[in-house]
Structure 1
């Protein structure tokens, strides 16, 4: 089964160790279910890092990236529940990416995912998509233990909509960051695929100047409708 839509919200977060119990309870008992039941949203999953940082990752699949900037959604961000406000006030790291999914080669739900993040030169995006679709992702998926892969591009207009609306959910995005999601049965498989196929030398032809950020995560909880 492919992703449930063409849009995805990707969130990285951390809290201090003393706040992790409440953070995890909030995610599992309120936040995931609340988001899944919003218009346009269909599935959400959360993970904890096996290798890399930030420590926690969450993904939310929706019909379109535009679902992440509707008046109703922005109103919710500006008027969070008391529990959400209390938990978010204790975040030590928070980063949100509003992804316009470019390639979806996923299959089912794996126990682990490796995230590769980088910023390419905008003028080379067509060549990048071609390489990802025809070379990098098919090679990754063929490896033992792999289940699927997807690629998304952060939509800056959508990402910065909460800033314009003065929501508490407002780190400003200034670069069109790309995210590769490599999904597999085990963390070792997804991590090995990422480090083999997404070296800095492989991405340099697409204007990627800095080494990609790679983090591997195991599944904690998910829900869908």
Structure 2
């Protein structure tokens, strides 16, 4: 089964050790359920790092990236629950990407996910999409222990909508970053597939000038409707 929609919110976060229990309880008991019941949202999953950082990663699947900039969603960001305000106020690291999915070769749900982040030249967008869809990801997920992959690009206008709406005080997104998510059942196999496929040498033809950021994460909790 593919992903539940053509849009995805990806959130990286971290808190101090003394705040981790509250962060985990908030995600599992309030936040994910609140989000998947919003219009356009269908499934959310959260992970903890096996290798790489930040420590926590969450994904939220929706019909379209446009669902991440609706008046209702921005109102929710601007008016958090008391628990949400308390937890997010203690973030020591936070990064939010609003993806338009360009490739979806997902098959079910893997217990492990490796996330690859990089910034290509926007003029190479079509060539990058073709390479990911037809060559890189099919070859990667054919390895034992892997079950699927997807790729999307951060929509800057949607990513910055909460800032324009004054519903979130976070750094602006100024470059179009891509995220590739590779899923599987074996952390080592998923990580090796990602690092082999997405070396800087392989990404340079698409205008990538800095080594990609790669982190492997283990599934903690998910819910859907």
Question: Structure 1-normalised TM-score?
Answer: 0.99
Compute the displacement of 1:188 (Å).
1.1
What aligned pairs does 1:24-39 form with structure 2 within 5 A after superposition?
24-39=24-39
Whole-angstrom CA distance in 2 between matches of 1:19 and 1:171 = 23
Aligned to 2:100: 100
- Unpaired stretches in structure 1, ≥5 consecutive residues: none
Whole-angstrom CA distance in 2 between matches of 1:15 and 1:186 = 27
Whole-angstrom CA distance in 1 between matches of 2:114 and 2:62 = 20
SS, match of residue 91 in structure 1: coil
What aligned pairs does 1:65-214 form with structure 2 within 5 A after superposition?
65-168=65-168, 170-214=170-214
Compute the displacement of 1:168 (Å).
2.6
Whole-angstrom CA distance in 1 between matches of 2:175 and 2:186 = 31
Cα distance per residue 1:34-84 (max 9 Å; x no partner): 000000000000000000000000000000000000000000000000000
Aligned to 1:215: 215
Q: Evaluate the alpha carbon distance shift between residue 2 and residue 144 of structure 1 in structure 2; reply closer, same or farther with a 3 A threshold.
A: same
Contact 1:78 1:169 in 2 (8 A): no
The 4+ residue runs of structure 1 with deviation greater than 3 A are: none
Question: Which has the higher mean CA deviation after the structures are superposed, 167-176 or 186-195?
Answer: 167-176
Whole-angstrom CA distance in 2 between matches of 1:103 and 1:83 = 35
Q: Give the superposed CA RMSD.
A: 0.7
Whole-angstrom CA distance in 1 between matches of 2:86 and 2:175 = 29
Question: Which has the higher mean CA deviation after the structures are superposed, 168-177 or 28-37?
Answer: 168-177
Aligned residue pair count: 225
Cα distance per residue 1:163-205 (max 9 Å; x no partner): 0010135331111000000000121111010011110000001
Contact 1:96 1:171 in 2 (8 A): no
Question: Structure 2-normalised TM-score?
Answer: 0.99
Whole-angstrom CA distance in 2 between matches of 1:142 and 1:77 = 40
Contact 1:147 1:183 in 2 (8 A): yes
- Unpaired stretches in structure 2, ≥5 consecutive residues: none
